[in-house]
């Protein structure tokens, strides 16, 4: 499904990603883990079409999307939940969800999809008429994920969904990720390495803009370097 190969990304003269390659197949949750500043958001923003790679390939279901702009990436089956969520605070929860289904193909089946999203996050039904900006951070994260699912993606790209949230809320969000994976593949970018790997089949470790390790989550969790560098064990 998603195949990234040899990706090099710069901010001006400064290189942020070096020869990054990774893949996500159908039905998988794949984690991309690394500490603060490793290059995770740069990778998400490049796949999302917000940054142009200097070189390398990003292929989604066989189509090269490396030069597709951010506002058109959802047409290729990729939905992105950026760090900081970017929900529309002055609109209701329901209107935010409806906005996620704006592309024509997604609109057709939006009634079934909104019922699915409400079944995953019942709080979004309870709060449907509330202004999104008045909800808690965890509820806003659920809304951001729900809105992304409304575009009927094949791949959900999540940038640090656990950031700043209470462990009980993270549990809810990570439970939903495991529930949806048969319908939508998930690429989970996280600093919360232990928890991310626990719900993933595979993972990649990014250090200073390079993928230094990749493997099954069990392999990564057992790796001494990962345990030392990332888990503080
Ligand atoms: P965080 O968890 O803090 O978001 P991250 O792993 O997502 O970290 P990035 O934000 O991708 O890391 O940053 C990777 C590198 O690129 C860092 O050295 C950072 O300083 C640099 N960087 C990020 N954004 C920019 C920018 N807009 N201009 C210049 N350098 C940037």
Which residues approach ligand 1 with their CB closer than 6 A? 11, 14, 16, 34, 36-42, 191
Give the mutation target among 7, 10, 16 for probing the ligand 1 site: most ligand atoms within 8 A of CB.
Answer: 16
Note the pLDDT of residue 104: 65
**Which residue's alpha carbon is at the smallest distance from atom 8 of ligand 1?**
37
Range of lowest pLDDT (51-55, 69-73, 104-108, 170-174): 104-108
Helix intervals (H) in the chain: 40-47, 93-100, 104-108, 110-120, 122-126, 137-149, 167-180, 193-198, 217-222, 224-231
Note the pLDDT of residue 36: 86
3-state SS assignment for residue 230: helix
Let me know how long the chain is.
233
**Which residue's alpha carbon is at the smallest distance from atom 24 of ligand 1?**
42
Residue 129 class from Cβ within 10 Å (0-12 exposed, 13-18 middle, 19+ buried)?
exposed
pLDDT band at 192 (very low <50, low <70, confident <90, very high): confident
The conformational region for residue 160 under phi > 0 = left, psi -120 to 50 = alpha, else beta, is left
Nearest atom of ligand 1 to the alpha carbon of 43: 11
**Which residue's alpha carbon is at the smallest distance from atom 20 of ligand 1?**
37
pLDDT band at 229 (very low <50, low <70, confident <90, very high): low
What sign does the CA torsion over 207, 32, 52, 20 have?
positive
What does the alpha-carbon distance between residue 230 and residue 153 come to, in Å, rounded to a whole number?
A: 31
3 has pLDDT over 60 = yes
**Which residue's alpha carbon is at the smallest distance from atom 17 of ligand 1?**
37
Mean pLDDT score, 151-157: 95
Kindly give the distance from the C-alpha atom of residue 39 to the centroid of ligand 1, in angstroms, as a whole number.
Answer: 6
Mean pLDDT in the chain? 92
| % of the chain residues with pLDDT over 70 | 95
Residue keyed to tokens 């990003």 = 58
Mean pLDDT score, 209-230: 88
11 has pLDDT over 80 = yes
Mean pLDDT score, 127-146: 95
Give the mutation target among 36, 38, 211, 230 for probing the ligand 1 site: most ligand atoms within 8 A of CB.
Answer: 38
Give the mutation target among 8, 11, 51 for probing the ligand 1 site: most ligand atoms within 8 A of CB.
Answer: 11
What does the alpha-carbon distance between residue 42 and residue 211 come to, in Å, rounded to a whole number?
A: 13
pLDDT band at 35 (very low <50, low <70, confident <90, very high): confident
Mean pLDDT score, 176-197: 93
């Amino acid at each position: 499904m998603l195949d990234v190969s040899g990706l090099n990304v710069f901010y001006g003269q400064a290189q942020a990603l070096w020869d990054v390659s990774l893949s996500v197949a159908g039905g998988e949750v794949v984690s991309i883990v690394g500490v603060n500043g490793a290059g995770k958001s740069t990778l998400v923003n490049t796949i999302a079409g917000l940054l142009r790679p200097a070189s390398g390939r990003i292929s989604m279901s066989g189509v090269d999307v490396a030069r597709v702009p951010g506002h058109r990436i959802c047409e290729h089956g990729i939905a992105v939940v950026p760090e900081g969520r970017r929900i529309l605070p002055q609109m209701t929860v329901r209107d935010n969800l409806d906005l996620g289904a704006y592309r024509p193909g997604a609109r057709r089946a939006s009634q079934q999809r909104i019922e699915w999203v409400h079944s995953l996050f019942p709080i979004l039904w309870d709060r449907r008429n509330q202004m999104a900006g008045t909800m808690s951070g965890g509820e806003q994260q659920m809304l951001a994920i729900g809105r992304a699912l409304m575009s009927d993606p094949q791949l959900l790209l999540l940038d640090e969904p656990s950031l700043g949230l209470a462990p009980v809320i993270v549990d809810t969000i990570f439970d939903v990720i495991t529930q949806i994976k048969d319908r939508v593949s998930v690429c989970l970018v996280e600093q919360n390495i232990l928890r991310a790997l626990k719900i993933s089949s595979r993972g990649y470790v990014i250090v200073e803009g390079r993928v230094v390790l990749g493997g099954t989550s069990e392999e990564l969790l057992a790796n001494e370097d990962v345990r030392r560098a990332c888990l503080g064990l």
